[in-house]
DNA sequence: CATTAAACGGAGCATCCGCTCCTGTTGTGC
DNA sequence: GCACAACAGGAGCGGATGCTCCGTTTAATG
Protein backbone atom coordinates (compact mmCIF):
# COMPACT_ATOMS: atom_id res chain seq x y z
CA UNK A 1 0.00 0.00 0.00
CA UNK A 2 1.45 3.26 -1.06
CA UNK A 3 -0.53 5.47 1.24
CA UNK A 4 0.21 5.59 4.91
CA UNK A 5 -2.91 4.65 6.78
CA UNK A 6 -1.23 6.11 9.81
CA UNK A 7 -1.00 9.61 8.42
CA UNK A 8 -2.63 11.39 11.30
CA UNK A 9 -2.64 15.12 11.60
CA UNK A 10 -0.68 15.43 14.76
CA UNK A 11 1.55 17.84 12.91
CA UNK A 12 -1.22 20.39 12.92
CA UNK A 13 -2.15 20.39 16.58
CA UNK A 14 0.57 22.77 17.55
CA UNK A 15 1.18 21.82 21.18
CA UNK A 16 0.86 18.16 20.32
CA UNK A 17 -0.95 16.06 22.92
CA UNK A 18 2.12 15.26 24.91
CA UNK A 19 1.53 13.04 27.93
CA UNK A 20 3.56 15.11 30.37
CA UNK A 21 1.04 17.94 30.48
CA UNK A 22 -1.25 18.64 33.36
CA UNK A 23 -4.55 16.83 33.53
CA UNK A 24 -6.66 19.98 33.41
CA UNK A 25 -4.82 21.17 30.36
CA UNK A 26 -5.54 17.91 28.59
CA UNK A 27 -9.21 18.14 29.51
CA UNK A 28 -9.45 21.69 28.30
CA UNK A 29 -7.79 20.90 25.04
CA UNK A 30 -10.29 18.16 24.37
CA UNK A 31 -13.19 20.43 25.35
CA UNK A 32 -11.96 23.11 22.98
CA UNK A 33 -11.68 20.75 20.06
CA UNK A 34 -15.11 19.33 20.69
CA UNK A 35 -16.77 22.72 21.11
CA UNK A 36 -15.00 24.10 18.07
CA UNK A 37 -16.20 21.16 16.03
CA UNK A 38 -19.78 21.87 16.99
CA UNK A 39 -19.58 25.61 16.55
CA UNK A 40 -17.85 25.43 13.18
CA UNK A 41 -20.37 22.90 11.97
CA UNK A 42 -23.22 25.15 13.04
CA UNK A 43 -22.00 28.58 12.12
CA UNK A 44 -19.12 28.07 9.73
CA UNK A 45 -15.56 29.22 10.10
CA UNK A 46 -16.48 32.86 10.51
CA UNK A 47 -17.58 32.63 14.12
CA UNK A 48 -16.11 34.70 16.86
CA UNK A 49 -13.41 32.87 18.80
CA UNK A 50 -15.11 34.07 21.97
CA UNK A 51 -18.05 31.84 21.16
CA UNK A 52 -15.83 28.79 21.03
CA UNK A 53 -14.19 29.73 24.30
CA UNK A 54 -17.59 30.26 25.91
CA UNK A 55 -19.02 27.01 24.60
CA UNK A 56 -16.04 24.99 25.78
CA UNK A 57 -16.10 26.62 29.20
CA UNK A 58 -12.61 27.99 28.81
CA UNK A 59 -11.04 31.43 28.78
CA UNK A 60 -9.50 33.11 25.81
CA UNK A 61 -6.05 32.73 27.29
CA UNK A 62 -6.48 29.00 27.61
CA UNK A 63 -7.78 28.67 24.10
CA UNK A 64 -4.90 30.59 22.64
CA UNK A 65 -2.34 28.68 24.65
CA UNK A 66 -3.54 25.49 23.05
CA UNK A 67 -4.01 26.89 19.57
CA UNK A 68 -1.78 29.85 18.78
CA UNK A 69 -4.13 31.02 16.10
CA UNK A 70 -7.76 30.72 15.16
CA UNK A 71 -6.79 29.26 11.83
CA UNK A 72 -4.70 26.60 13.49
CA UNK A 73 -7.71 25.53 15.53
CA UNK A 74 -9.97 25.62 12.53
CA UNK A 75 -7.60 23.55 10.45
CA UNK A 76 -7.04 21.02 13.20
CA UNK A 77 -10.73 20.47 13.74
CA UNK A 78 -11.73 20.45 10.09
CA UNK A 79 -9.00 18.07 9.04
CA UNK A 80 -9.84 15.74 11.85
CA UNK A 81 -13.35 15.53 10.42
CA UNK A 82 -12.14 15.21 6.88
CA UNK A 83 -9.75 12.43 7.79
CA UNK A 84 -12.51 10.55 9.52
CA UNK A 85 -14.75 10.78 6.46
CA UNK A 86 -11.95 9.65 4.26
CA UNK A 87 -11.17 6.69 6.47
CA UNK A 88 -14.78 5.55 6.46
CA UNK A 89 -15.14 5.87 2.72
CA UNK A 90 -11.85 4.13 2.14
CA UNK A 91 -12.72 1.18 4.30
CA UNK A 92 -16.03 0.72 2.59
CA UNK A 93 -14.43 1.01 -0.83
CA UNK A 94 -11.83 -1.60 0.05
CA UNK A 95 -14.57 -3.93 1.16
CA UNK A 96 -16.28 -3.67 -2.20
CA UNK A 97 -15.17 -6.32 -4.64
CA UNK A 98 -16.31 -4.86 -7.92
CA UNK A 99 -13.77 -2.15 -8.83
CA UNK A 100 -16.30 0.07 -10.53
CA UNK A 101 -18.73 -0.12 -7.64
CA UNK A 102 -15.85 0.62 -5.28
CA UNK A 103 -15.00 3.79 -7.17
CA UNK A 104 -18.56 4.99 -7.59
CA UNK A 105 -19.35 4.08 -4.01
CA UNK A 106 -16.43 6.14 -2.82
CA UNK A 107 -17.73 9.19 -4.62
CA UNK A 108 -21.24 8.55 -3.46
CA UNK A 109 -20.20 8.19 0.14
CA UNK A 110 -17.82 11.12 0.40
CA UNK A 111 -20.27 13.41 -1.33
CA UNK A 112 -23.29 12.42 0.72
CA UNK A 113 -21.22 12.93 3.85
CA UNK A 114 -20.39 16.39 2.61
CA UNK A 115 -24.05 17.02 1.98
CA UNK A 116 -24.67 16.28 5.63
CA UNK A 117 -21.86 18.58 6.74
CA UNK A 118 -22.10 21.63 4.57
CA UNK A 119 -20.63 24.10 6.98
CA UNK A 120 -17.53 21.98 7.44
CA UNK A 121 -17.00 21.78 3.71
CA UNK A 122 -17.51 25.49 3.29
CA UNK A 123 -15.06 26.28 6.06
CA UNK A 124 -12.58 23.86 4.62
CA UNK A 125 -12.83 25.59 1.27
CA UNK A 126 -12.52 28.98 2.89
CA UNK A 127 -9.30 28.02 4.64
CA UNK A 128 -7.74 27.12 1.32
CA UNK A 129 -8.77 23.50 1.24
CA UNK A 130 -7.43 20.60 3.22
CA UNK A 131 -3.73 20.39 4.00
CA UNK A 132 -1.37 18.68 1.65
CA UNK A 133 -1.22 15.58 3.82
CA UNK A 134 -4.99 15.23 3.57
CA UNK A 135 -4.91 15.81 -0.14
CA UNK A 136 -2.16 13.27 -0.57
CA UNK A 137 -4.06 10.68 1.36
CA UNK A 138 -7.13 11.34 -0.74
CA UNK A 139 -5.00 11.07 -3.86
CA UNK A 140 -3.61 7.71 -2.94
CA UNK A 141 -7.03 6.32 -2.11
CA UNK A 142 -8.40 7.50 -5.42
CA UNK A 143 -5.34 6.23 -7.20
CA UNK A 144 -5.85 2.82 -5.69
CA UNK A 145 -9.47 2.74 -6.81
CA UNK A 146 -8.57 4.03 -10.22
CA UNK A 147 -5.91 1.39 -10.71
CA UNK A 148 -8.35 -1.34 -9.84
CA UNK A 149 -10.77 -0.05 -12.45
CA UNK A 150 -8.06 0.28 -15.06
CA UNK A 151 -6.91 -3.28 -14.41
CA UNK A 152 -10.31 -4.64 -15.37
CA UNK A 153 -10.70 -2.18 -18.23
CA UNK A 154 -13.70 -0.36 -16.85
CA UNK A 155 -12.23 3.12 -16.81
CA UNK A 156 -11.95 5.36 -19.80
CA UNK A 157 -8.35 5.37 -20.97
CA UNK A 158 -6.31 8.40 -20.07
CA UNK A 159 -8.24 9.35 -16.96
CA UNK A 160 -5.79 10.40 -14.29
CA UNK A 161 -6.00 10.52 -10.54
CA UNK A 162 -5.94 14.30 -10.81
CA UNK A 163 -9.02 14.14 -12.99
CA UNK A 164 -10.89 12.12 -10.43
CA UNK A 165 -9.75 14.31 -7.59
CA UNK A 166 -10.80 17.40 -9.47
CA UNK A 167 -14.14 15.81 -10.24
CA UNK A 168 -14.62 15.15 -6.59
CA UNK A 169 -14.05 18.78 -5.69
CA UNK A 170 -16.21 19.92 -8.53
CA UNK A 171 -19.14 17.75 -7.49
CA UNK A 172 -18.59 18.91 -3.96
CA UNK A 173 -19.59 22.34 -5.19
CA UNK A 174 -22.72 20.87 -6.72
CA UNK A 175 -23.54 19.26 -3.41
CA UNK A 176 -23.30 22.60 -1.66
CA UNK A 177 -25.31 24.55 -4.15
CA UNK A 178 -28.19 22.09 -4.22
CA UNK A 179 -28.27 21.44 -0.50
CA UNK A 180 -31.16 23.81 0.17
CA UNK A 181 -33.35 23.80 -2.85
CA UNK A 182 -32.81 20.49 -4.60
CA UNK A 183 -31.13 18.06 -2.24
CA UNK A 184 -29.83 15.00 -4.01
CA UNK A 185 -29.72 16.54 -7.42
CA UNK A 186 -25.96 16.23 -7.30
CA UNK A 187 -26.45 12.49 -7.71
CA UNK A 188 -27.67 13.10 -11.24
CA UNK A 189 -24.49 14.97 -12.01
CA UNK A 190 -22.44 12.26 -10.41
CA UNK A 191 -24.13 9.71 -12.59
CA UNK A 192 -23.54 11.77 -15.70
CA UNK A 193 -19.86 12.20 -14.87
CA UNK A 194 -19.39 8.55 -14.03
CA UNK A 195 -20.96 7.56 -17.32
CA UNK A 196 -18.51 9.88 -19.02
CA UNK A 197 -15.74 8.09 -17.16
CA UNK A 198 -16.68 4.62 -18.28
CA UNK A 199 -14.50 2.88 -20.78
CA UNK A 200 -17.36 3.00 -23.24
CA UNK A 201 -16.00 6.48 -24.01
CA UNK A 202 -12.71 5.95 -25.70
CA UNK A 203 -12.05 9.34 -27.26
CA UNK A 204 -8.85 10.84 -25.86
CA UNK A 205 -9.21 13.66 -23.36
CA UNK A 206 -7.72 17.06 -24.11
CA UNK A 207 -4.29 17.82 -22.68
CA UNK A 208 -4.17 19.64 -19.38
CA UNK A 209 -2.52 22.84 -20.53
CA UNK A 210 -4.25 26.12 -21.27
CA UNK B 1 -37.93 33.50 -27.69
CA UNK B 2 -38.80 32.86 -24.13
CA UNK B 3 -35.97 34.74 -22.55
CA UNK B 4 -35.92 38.50 -22.52
CA UNK B 5 -32.79 39.67 -24.22
CA UNK B 6 -33.48 43.04 -22.68
CA UNK B 7 -33.16 41.91 -19.09
CA UNK B 8 -30.72 44.52 -17.95
CA UNK B 9 -29.74 45.03 -14.36
CA UNK B 10 -30.87 48.60 -13.96
CA UNK B 11 -32.82 47.46 -10.94
CA UNK B 12 -29.60 47.03 -9.01
CA UNK B 13 -28.03 50.41 -9.56
CA UNK B 14 -29.80 52.05 -6.70
CA UNK B 15 -29.96 55.69 -7.82
CA UNK B 16 -30.55 54.58 -11.37
CA UNK B 17 -28.68 56.59 -14.03
CA UNK B 18 -31.40 59.15 -14.43
CA UNK B 19 -30.68 61.88 -16.97
CA UNK B 20 -31.63 64.86 -14.83
CA UNK B 21 -28.63 64.55 -12.54
CA UNK B 22 -25.67 66.82 -12.58
CA UNK B 23 -22.87 66.09 -15.00
CA UNK B 24 -20.23 65.60 -12.31
CA UNK B 25 -22.45 63.13 -10.54
CA UNK B 26 -22.80 61.12 -13.71
CA UNK B 27 -19.06 61.18 -14.27
CA UNK B 28 -18.34 60.13 -10.73
CA UNK B 29 -20.79 57.29 -10.86
CA UNK B 30 -19.13 55.93 -13.97
CA UNK B 31 -15.70 56.36 -12.42
CA UNK B 32 -16.78 54.46 -9.33
CA UNK B 33 -18.16 51.56 -11.31
CA UNK B 34 -15.06 51.34 -13.43
CA UNK B 35 -12.66 51.56 -10.53
CA UNK B 36 -14.69 49.07 -8.54
CA UNK B 37 -14.60 46.67 -11.46
CA UNK B 38 -10.82 46.85 -11.59
CA UNK B 39 -10.29 46.65 -7.87
CA UNK B 40 -12.66 43.75 -7.38
CA UNK B 41 -11.06 41.89 -10.24
CA UNK B 42 -7.63 42.41 -8.74
CA UNK B 43 -8.22 41.96 -5.05
CA UNK B 44 -11.58 40.24 -4.75
CA UNK B 45 -14.65 41.43 -2.92
CA UNK B 46 -12.88 41.79 0.40
CA UNK B 47 -11.14 45.06 -0.41
CA UNK B 48 -11.54 48.16 1.66
CA UNK B 49 -14.12 50.55 0.27
CA UNK B 50 -11.58 53.33 0.75
CA UNK B 51 -9.42 51.76 -1.94
CA UNK B 52 -12.25 51.99 -4.44
CA UNK B 53 -12.92 55.59 -3.50
CA UNK B 54 -9.23 56.42 -3.82
CA UNK B 55 -8.86 54.67 -7.15
CA UNK B 56 -11.90 56.37 -8.62
CA UNK B 57 -10.78 59.76 -7.36
CA UNK B 58 -13.88 60.24 -5.30
CA UNK B 59 -14.63 60.75 -1.63
CA UNK B 60 -16.35 58.29 0.62
CA UNK B 61 -19.42 60.46 0.82
CA UNK B 62 -19.79 60.46 -2.93
CA UNK B 63 -19.33 56.77 -3.19
CA UNK B 64 -21.95 56.07 -0.57
CA UNK B 65 -24.40 58.49 -2.09
CA UNK B 66 -24.29 56.51 -5.31
CA UNK B 67 -24.26 53.08 -3.70
CA UNK B 68 -25.91 52.95 -0.30
CA UNK B 69 -23.96 49.87 0.61
CA UNK B 70 -20.76 48.13 -0.33
CA UNK B 71 -22.68 45.03 -1.25
CA UNK B 72 -24.91 46.97 -3.58
CA UNK B 73 -21.86 48.27 -5.41
CA UNK B 74 -20.30 44.84 -5.51
CA UNK B 75 -23.43 43.24 -6.86
CA UNK B 76 -23.96 45.93 -9.46
CA UNK B 77 -20.45 45.63 -10.80
CA UNK B 78 -20.24 41.86 -10.71
CA UNK B 79 -23.55 41.31 -12.39
CA UNK B 80 -22.69 43.78 -15.07
CA UNK B 81 -19.66 41.63 -15.85
CA UNK B 82 -21.60 38.42 -15.64
CA UNK B 83 -24.31 39.73 -17.93
CA UNK B 84 -21.71 40.75 -20.46
CA UNK B 85 -20.13 37.30 -20.46
CA UNK B 86 -23.52 35.71 -20.81
CA UNK B 87 -24.43 37.93 -23.71
CA UNK B 88 -21.23 37.12 -25.56
CA UNK B 89 -21.58 33.41 -25.03
CA UNK B 90 -25.22 33.47 -26.00
CA UNK B 91 -24.58 35.30 -29.23
CA UNK B 92 -21.86 32.90 -30.22
CA UNK B 93 -24.01 29.92 -29.34
CA UNK B 94 -26.89 31.24 -31.43
CA UNK B 95 -24.55 31.65 -34.35
CA UNK B 96 -23.52 28.02 -34.19
CA UNK B 97 -25.64 25.78 -36.33
CA UNK B 98 -24.89 22.39 -34.90
CA UNK B 99 -26.94 22.13 -31.66
CA UNK B 100 -24.38 20.02 -29.86
CA UNK B 101 -21.53 22.32 -30.75
CA UNK B 102 -23.64 25.26 -29.65
CA UNK B 103 -24.16 23.71 -26.23
CA UNK B 104 -20.58 22.58 -25.74
CA UNK B 105 -19.29 25.87 -27.09
CA UNK B 106 -21.41 27.73 -24.57
CA UNK B 107 -19.87 25.80 -21.71
CA UNK B 108 -16.41 26.17 -23.13
CA UNK B 109 -16.76 29.88 -23.56
CA UNK B 110 -18.35 30.76 -20.24
CA UNK B 111 -15.87 28.62 -18.36
CA UNK B 112 -12.79 29.93 -20.10
CA UNK B 113 -14.01 33.45 -19.45
CA UNK B 114 -14.32 32.54 -15.79
CA UNK B 115 -10.81 31.16 -15.86
CA UNK B 116 -9.63 34.58 -17.01
CA UNK B 117 -11.61 36.35 -14.30
CA UNK B 118 -11.17 34.28 -11.19
CA UNK B 119 -11.55 37.06 -8.68
CA UNK B 120 -14.86 38.09 -10.17
CA UNK B 121 -16.19 34.56 -9.96
CA UNK B 122 -14.98 34.19 -6.40
CA UNK B 123 -16.58 37.45 -5.36
CA UNK B 124 -19.77 36.49 -7.11
CA UNK B 125 -19.84 33.23 -5.20
CA UNK B 126 -19.07 35.00 -1.96
CA UNK B 127 -22.00 37.38 -2.39
CA UNK B 128 -24.35 34.44 -2.68
CA UNK B 129 -24.16 33.96 -6.41
CA UNK B 130 -25.66 36.08 -9.14
CA UNK B 131 -29.09 37.60 -8.65
CA UNK B 132 -32.20 35.74 -9.65
CA UNK B 133 -32.58 37.79 -12.80
CA UNK B 134 -29.10 36.73 -13.90
CA UNK B 135 -29.80 33.14 -13.02
CA UNK B 136 -33.07 33.21 -14.91
CA UNK B 137 -31.41 34.60 -17.96
CA UNK B 138 -28.77 31.92 -17.78
CA UNK B 139 -31.48 29.32 -17.38
CA UNK B 140 -33.35 30.40 -20.43
CA UNK B 141 -30.22 30.43 -22.54
CA UNK B 142 -29.31 26.95 -21.42
CA UNK B 143 -32.87 25.81 -21.91
CA UNK B 144 -32.79 27.06 -25.46
CA UNK B 145 -29.58 25.21 -26.17
CA UNK B 146 -30.86 22.10 -24.46
CA UNK B 147 -34.07 22.10 -26.48
CA UNK B 148 -32.14 22.35 -29.71
CA UNK B 149 -30.09 19.32 -28.72
CA UNK B 150 -33.14 17.36 -27.66
CA UNK B 151 -34.83 18.12 -30.95
CA UNK B 152 -32.09 16.40 -32.89
CA UNK B 153 -31.76 13.60 -30.34
CA UNK B 154 -28.24 14.40 -29.27
CA UNK B 155 -28.89 14.85 -25.58
CA UNK B 156 -29.29 12.07 -23.10
CA UNK B 157 -32.97 11.68 -22.28
CA UNK B 158 -34.10 13.11 -18.98
CA UNK B 159 -31.40 15.76 -18.70
CA UNK B 160 -32.98 18.94 -17.37
CA UNK B 161 -32.01 22.56 -17.60
CA UNK B 162 -31.30 22.44 -13.87
CA UNK B 163 -28.83 19.64 -14.47
CA UNK B 164 -26.97 21.69 -17.04
CA UNK B 165 -27.00 24.78 -14.88
CA UNK B 166 -25.72 22.81 -11.94
CA UNK B 167 -23.03 21.29 -14.11
CA UNK B 168 -21.97 24.74 -15.12
CA UNK B 169 -21.57 25.86 -11.53
CA UNK B 170 -19.82 22.68 -10.64
CA UNK B 171 -17.28 22.99 -13.42
CA UNK B 172 -16.84 26.59 -12.45
CA UNK B 173 -15.40 25.30 -9.21
CA UNK B 174 -13.02 23.09 -11.16
CA UNK B 175 -11.91 26.11 -13.16
CA UNK B 176 -11.07 27.99 -9.99
CA UNK B 177 -9.24 25.18 -8.30
CA UNK B 178 -7.04 24.41 -11.27
CA UNK B 179 -6.34 28.00 -12.22
CA UNK B 180 -2.92 28.12 -10.55
CA UNK B 181 -1.45 24.70 -10.75
CA UNK B 182 -3.01 22.97 -13.73
CA UNK B 183 -4.67 25.55 -15.95
CA UNK B 184 -6.92 24.01 -18.53
CA UNK B 185 -7.39 20.74 -16.74
CA UNK B 186 -11.03 21.66 -16.29
CA UNK B 187 -11.44 21.02 -20.02
CA UNK B 188 -10.86 17.35 -19.39
CA UNK B 189 -13.66 17.33 -16.86
CA UNK B 190 -15.89 19.23 -19.22
CA UNK B 191 -15.25 16.66 -21.89
CA UNK B 192 -16.02 13.81 -19.51
CA UNK B 193 -19.26 15.43 -18.41
CA UNK B 194 -20.32 16.22 -21.94
CA UNK B 195 -19.70 12.64 -22.98
CA UNK B 196 -21.90 11.58 -20.10
CA UNK B 197 -24.54 13.93 -21.41
CA UNK B 198 -24.63 12.53 -24.91
CA UNK B 199 -27.59 10.49 -25.98
CA UNK B 200 -25.31 7.48 -26.23
CA UNK B 201 -26.04 7.15 -22.51
CA UNK B 202 -29.65 6.16 -22.23
CA UNK B 203 -29.85 4.91 -18.66
CA UNK B 204 -32.29 7.01 -16.68
CA UNK B 205 -30.84 9.46 -14.19
CA UNK B 206 -31.69 9.17 -10.53
CA UNK B 207 -34.51 11.34 -9.20
CA UNK B 208 -33.56 14.64 -7.69
CA UNK B 209 -34.71 13.99 -4.14
CA UNK B 210 -32.51 13.01 -1.24
C1' DC C 1 -23.00 87.16 -11.88
C1' DA C 2 -25.72 85.82 -8.07
C1' DT C 3 -28.22 82.24 -6.10
C1' DT C 4 -29.22 77.86 -4.61
C1' DA C 5 -29.64 73.17 -4.23
C1' DA C 6 -27.24 69.30 -5.44
C1' DA C 7 -22.94 67.01 -5.05
C1' DC C 8 -18.41 66.48 -2.92
C1' DG C 9 -14.84 64.85 0.39
C1' DG C 10 -12.59 62.88 4.12
C1' DA C 11 -12.01 62.95 9.07
C1' DG C 12 -14.07 60.38 12.32
C1' DC C 13 -17.52 57.12 14.49
C1' DA C 14 -18.96 52.54 15.79
C1' DT C 15 -18.25 47.92 15.62
C1' DC C 16 -16.29 43.64 15.10
C1' DC C 17 -12.70 40.45 15.97
C1' DG C 18 -8.19 38.29 16.44
C1' DC C 19 -5.13 38.19 19.97
C1' DT C 20 -2.40 39.51 24.40
C1' DC C 21 -1.40 40.58 29.12
C1' DC C 22 -1.45 40.07 33.68
C1' DT C 23 -3.61 38.62 37.97
C1' DG C 24 -5.38 34.87 40.39
C1' DT C 25 -5.67 29.74 40.74
C1' DT C 26 -4.51 24.89 40.66
C1' DG C 27 -2.03 20.70 39.88
C1' DT C 28 2.43 18.38 40.93
C1' DG C 29 6.97 16.97 43.08
C1' DC C 30 9.47 17.02 47.28
C1' DG D 1 1.80 20.74 53.40
C1' DC D 2 4.75 23.83 50.76
C1' DA D 3 6.77 26.01 46.91
C1' DC D 4 6.63 26.75 42.33
C1' DA D 5 5.70 26.27 37.77
C1' DA D 6 2.05 25.58 34.69
C1' DC D 7 -2.47 26.89 33.75
C1' DA D 8 -6.96 29.61 33.71
C1' DG D 9 -9.52 33.54 32.61
C1' DG D 10 -11.40 37.67 30.76
C1' DA D 11 -10.82 42.64 30.30
C1' DG D 12 -8.86 45.14 27.02
C1' DC D 13 -5.65 46.40 23.02
C1' DG D 14 -5.02 47.29 18.17
C1' DG D 15 -6.36 47.62 13.82
C1' DA D 16 -9.34 46.75 10.12
C1' DT D 17 -13.55 48.25 7.93
C1' DG D 18 -18.32 49.66 6.79
C1' DC D 19 -20.53 53.80 7.01
C1' DT D 20 -21.89 58.92 8.42
C1' DC D 21 -21.77 63.80 9.26
C1' DC D 22 -21.22 68.21 7.96
C1' DG D 23 -18.53 72.04 6.28
C1' DT D 24 -17.11 73.12 1.47
C1' DT D 25 -17.39 73.24 -3.50
C1' DT D 26 -19.59 73.44 -7.86
C1' DA D 27 -22.83 72.85 -11.59
C1' DA D 28 -27.17 74.60 -13.23
C1' DT D 29 -30.49 78.47 -13.75
C1' DG D 30 -32.20 83.10 -14.81
**Whole-number distance in Å between A19 CA and C30 C1':** 21
Q: Tell whether B63 and B82 lie within a shared domain.
A: no
**Whole-number distance in Å between A64 CA and C19 C1':** 8
Give A8's DSSP letter. -
Q: Counting beta carbons within 10 angstroms of the beta carbon of residue B209, is it exposed (0 to 12), middle (13 to 18) or buried (19 or more)?
A: exposed
Report the pLDDT value the prediction gives residue B85, as an integer from 0 to 100: 95
The reply to whether A6 falls in a domain is: no
The reply to whether B2 falls in a domain is: no
Q: Is A208 on the interface with B (CB under 8 A)?
A: yes
Q: Tell whether A110 and A62 lie within a shared domain.
A: no
The reply to whether B4 falls in a domain is: no
A194/B196 touch (CB, cutoff 8 Å), yes or no: yes
Q: Is B111 on the interface with A (CB under 8 A)?
A: no
Q: Tell whether A145 and A206 lie within a shared domain.
A: yes
A59 touches strand D (CB under 7 A): yes
Report the pLDDT value the prediction gives residue B208, as an integer from 0 to 100: 74
B192/A163 touch (CB, cutoff 8 Å), yes or no: yes
**Whole-number distance in Å between A34 CA and C29 C1':** 32
Q: Is A53 on the interface with B (CB under 8 A)?
A: no
Report the pLDDT value the prediction gives residue B3, as an integer from 0 to 100: 31
Q: Counting beta carbons within 10 angstroms of the beta carbon of residue A63, is it exposed (0 to 12), middle (13 to 18) or buried (19 or more)?
A: buried
Q: Is the pLDDT of residue B203 over 90?
A: yes
Angle at the Cα of A199 from the Cα atoms of B147 and A209, rounded to 5 degrees: 75
Q: Tell whether B187 and B127 lie within a shared domain.
A: yes
The reply to whether B37 falls in a domain is: yes
Q: Which residues does strand C reach (CB under 7 angstroms)?
A: A 22-24, 46-50, 60-61, 64, 68-71; B 21-22, 24-25, 27-28, 57-62, 64-66
B192/A187 touch (CB, cutoff 8 Å), yes or no: no
A183/B159 touch (CB, cutoff 8 Å), yes or no: no
Task: Compute φ and ψ for A145, nearest 5 degrees.
Answer: -65, -40
Q: Of B24, B46, B68, which residue sits at a domain end? A: B68
Q: Is B126 on the interface with A (CB under 8 A)?
A: no
A188/B194 touch (CB, cutoff 8 Å), yes or no: no
Q: Of B31, B46, B68, which residue sits at a domain end? A: B68
Instruction: Name the nearest CA neighbour of B197 among B158, B152, B169.
Output: B158
A15-23 — which CB contacts under 8 Å span 24+ positions? A15/A65, A15/A66
**Whole-number distance in Å between B39 CA and D15 C1':** 22
Report the pLDDT value the prediction gives residue B20, as an integer from 0 to 100: 76
Alpha-carbon distance of B187 to A209, in angstroms, equals 9
Q: Tell whether A106 and A178 lie within a shared domain.
A: yes
Q: What mean pLDDT, rounded, does chain B reach?
A: 90
Report the pLDDT value the prediction gives residue B209, as an integer from 0 to 100: 65
Report the pLDDT value the prediction gives residue A17, as an integer from 0 to 100: 52
Q: Is the pLDDT of residue B104 over 70?
A: yes
Give yes or no for a contact between B93 and B149, defined as CB atoms under 8 angstroms apart.
no
Report the pLDDT value the prediction gives residue B151, as an integer from 0 to 100: 97
Alpha-carbon distance of B50 to B48, in angstroms, equals 5
User: pLDDT of chain A along its 210 residues, tens only?
Assistant: 333 333 333 333 344 455 667 888 899 999 999 999 999 999 989 999 999 999 999 999 999 999 999 999 999 999 999 999 999 999 999 999 999 999 999 999 999 999 999 989 988 888 888 888 899 999 999 999 999 999 999 999 999 999 999 999 999 999 999 998 899 999 999 999 999 999 999 999 999 765
Alpha-carbon distance of A12 to A45, in angstroms, equals 17
Q: Which nucleotide is nearest to B56 (CA to C1')?
A: C9
Minimum-distance CB partner of A193 among B177, B187, B196: B196
Give me the number of domains chain B comprises.
2
Q: Tell whether B170 and B196 lie within a shared domain.
A: yes
Q: Tell whether B121 and B205 lie within a shared domain.
A: yes
Q: Is B100 on the interface with A (CB under 8 A)?
A: no
Q: Is the pLDDT of residue B180 over 60?
A: yes
Q: What is the CATH number of the domain that holds A31?
A: 1.10.10.60
Q: Tell whether B25 and B129 lie within a shared domain.
A: no
The reply to whether A183 falls in a domain is: yes
Minimum-distance CB partner of B189 among A166, A182, A185: A166
Domain residues for A22?
Answer: 12-68
Give yes or no for a contact between B175 and B186, defined as CB atoms under 8 angstroms apart.
yes
Q: Tell whether B104 and B180 lie within a shared domain.
A: yes
The reply to whether A180 falls in a domain is: yes
Which residue of B lies nearest to A176 if distances are taken between CA atoms? Answer: B170
Q: What is the CATH number of the domain that holds B164?
A: 1.10.357.10
**Whole-number distance in Å between A62 CA and C26 C1':** 14
The reply to whether B1 falls in a domain is: no
Q: Tell whether B43 and B114 lie within a shared domain.
A: no
Which residue of A lies nearest to B128 if distances are taken between CA atoms? Answer: A177
Which of strand D's nucleotides are less than 7 A from any protein C-beta? 6-12, 16-22, 26-28
Q: Tell whether B204 and B111 lie within a shared domain.
A: yes
The reply to whether B127 falls in a domain is: yes
Q: Is A131 on the interface with B (CB under 8 A)?
A: no
Q: How many CB pairs under 8 A join A and B?
A: 122
Q: Is A184 on the interface with B (CB under 8 A)?
A: yes
Amino acid sequence: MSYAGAVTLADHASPAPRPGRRADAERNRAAIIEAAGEVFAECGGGVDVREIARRSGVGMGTLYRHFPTKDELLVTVLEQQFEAWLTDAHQQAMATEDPWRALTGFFEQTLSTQARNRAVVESLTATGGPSSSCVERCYSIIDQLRTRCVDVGMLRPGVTTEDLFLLSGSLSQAVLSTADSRPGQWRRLLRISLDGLSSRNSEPLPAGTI
